[in-house]
Amino acid sequence: MSAREEILARVRKAVAGAEDVEIPRHYRTNRQGEDLVGLFAERVDDYRAIVHVVPAAEVPGKLDACLGERRMIIPDGFDRAGGWDDVNTADGVVTGCAVAIAETGTIVLDHGPGQGTRAQTLVPDYHLCVVRADQIVAGVPEALARLDPARPLTWISGPSATSDIELNRVEGVHGPRTLEVIIST
């Protein structure tokens, strides 16, 4: 018998006669939000990321200020010309996002247009992310409902960190050590 057949047979024998269970889903879903922008900004800030809440018309100016003289990767589909090509020598990367979660201060990339590849958003030390207000949802259930499982997804909650030294969060290990978020309202 192949390993596959043997494991499946063992499983069937182990659970034979066991009762199935109903899944109660009485937790919060489909929340409509009070001040999602405010909550998202506060929760991202809790991770010691840098947050700006800016009216849409002022975003280009804010981007200029943040990019400065940095050698930035500007992914295909991001509304801005120029940029640096080599991930290993770039100072940073600028992206949009697929969805953002207010309650947990999380940004989710699906690496579609304007969001770069997984490597581009990981190797450089600085990540600048532009989040539109209409991309912010209340919680995790609302975010998953908007995402496509067929795409590679990267959920980002603050800069790279570790809790491995005495169980305290310390920023800055292998991912970008600085995360800056522009929320466009």
Partner 1 sequence: MSATFLGMPGSFPKNSRKAVQNSQLRFNLRKATHTIRGKRAGVVGELPDWQELRAAGKAIKDHTLRNLDRYLLQLEEAVTRAGGTVHWARDAAEANRIVTDLVKATGETEVVKVKSMATQEIELNQALAAHGITAYETDLAELIVQLGDDFPSHILVPAIHRNRSEIREIFLDKMPHVPPGLTDDPPALAEAARLHLRERFLRSKVAISGANFMVAETGTLVVLESEGNGRMCLSLPETLISVVGIEKLLPSWRDLEVFLQLLPRSSTGERMNPYTSMWTGAVEGQDFHLVLLDNGRTDVLADEVGRQALRCIRCSACLNVCPVYERAGGHAYGSVYPGPIGAILTPQLRGMSSELDASLPFASSLCGACYDVCPVAIDIPEVLVDLRAKAPHAAAEKAGMKVAGWILNDHERLAKAQRAATRARKLVPKRLPGPLSAWTDTRDLPEIPEESFRDWWERNERA
User: What's the rounded Cα separation, in Å, for the pair 119 and 140?
Assistant: 25
Distance of CA 27 to the CA centre of its chain: 23
Interacting residue with partner 1 among 39, 40, 41, 47 (CB under 8 A): 47
Interacting residue with partner 1 among 55, 60, 77, 173 (CB under 8 A): 173
Return the range that interacts with partner 1 (CB under 8 A); candidates 67-75, 89-97, 130-138, 145-153: 145-153
Q: How far is the CB of 102 from partner 1 (least distance, A)?
A: 11
Question: Cα separations (Å) of 180 from 17, 154, 157, 172?
Answer: 54, 16, 11, 14
* Contact call for residue 146 and partner 1 (CB under 8 A): no
Residues 99-128 that bind partner 1 (CB under 8 A): 101, 103-106, 117-119, 122-123
* Contact call for residue 95 and partner 1 (CB under 8 A): no
Cβ partners under 8 Å of residue 108, min gap 6: 97, 98, 99, 100, 101, 143, 147, 153, 154, 155, 156
Interacting residue with partner 1 among 83, 132, 172, 178 (CB under 8 A): 172
